[in-house]
């Protein structure tokens, strides 16, 4: 496999993963994530297996609904895919000790994916948790 083909395969795998997981299709994890996944930086604890990865998305989905997910930029080489993204969601369940507010919130983040054998083998996630929590804790100034 040429380097260009490998890069295209890595991009396709990560794009498929992101589109699936952010639309509720968690079975995509079985197709795109390596059995021995290693993760770093996940809010609430980093998953240590594919099943825990799925559960992380289930838990996130129980706190937030009506998601719009956008890849803002993506850069890849033969071993790594880096993605900068934005999420818009409704806060409909408890998150980080904050009861549901019903607010529409937006936050950004980055993820680096180390690829192995055409699958995601390691994930480094950085979410703008501070910005997200500030939106959830914001007081209605009109009151």
Distance CA 75, CA 87 (A): 19
What was the pLDDT predicted at 62?
93
Cα→Cα distances 142→74, 104, 137, 138, 139, Å: 39, 17, 15, 12, 9
What are the structural domains, with CATH classification, of the chain?
Answer: 3-137 (3.10.450.50)
Residue 105 scores a pLDDT above 70: yes
The pair of three-digit structure tokens given for residue 37, joined into one six-digit string: 């996944």
Q: Which of 14, 94, 106 is nearest to 66 (CA)?
A: 106
What was the pLDDT predicted at 142?
37
The mean pLDDT of the chain is 92
Distance CA 141, CA 61 (A): 28
What's the mean pLDDT in 126-141? 80
What pTM does this model have? 0.90
Residue 88 scores a pLDDT above 80: yes
pLDDT in tens, 18-61: 999 999 899 999 999 999 999 999 988 899 999 999 999 999 99
């Amino acid at each position: 496999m040429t380097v260009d083909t490998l890069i295209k395969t890595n991009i396709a795998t990560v794009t498929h993963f992101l589109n699936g997981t952010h639309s509720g299709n968690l079975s995509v994890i079985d197709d795109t994530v390596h059995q021995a996944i290693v993760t770093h930086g996940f809010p609430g604890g980093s998953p240590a297996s594919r099943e825990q990865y799925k559960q992380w998305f289930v838990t996130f989905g129980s706190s937030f609904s009506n998601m719009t997910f956008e890849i803002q930029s993506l850069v890849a080489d033969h071993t790594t895919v880096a993605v900068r993204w934005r999420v818009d969601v409704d806060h409909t369940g408890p998150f980080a000790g904050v009861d549901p507010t019903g607010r529409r919130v937006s936050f950004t983040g980055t993820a680096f994916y180390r690829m192995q054998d055409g699958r995601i083998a390691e994930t480094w996630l950085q979410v703008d948790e501070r910005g997200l929590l500030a939106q959830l804790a914001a007081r209605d100034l009109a009151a």
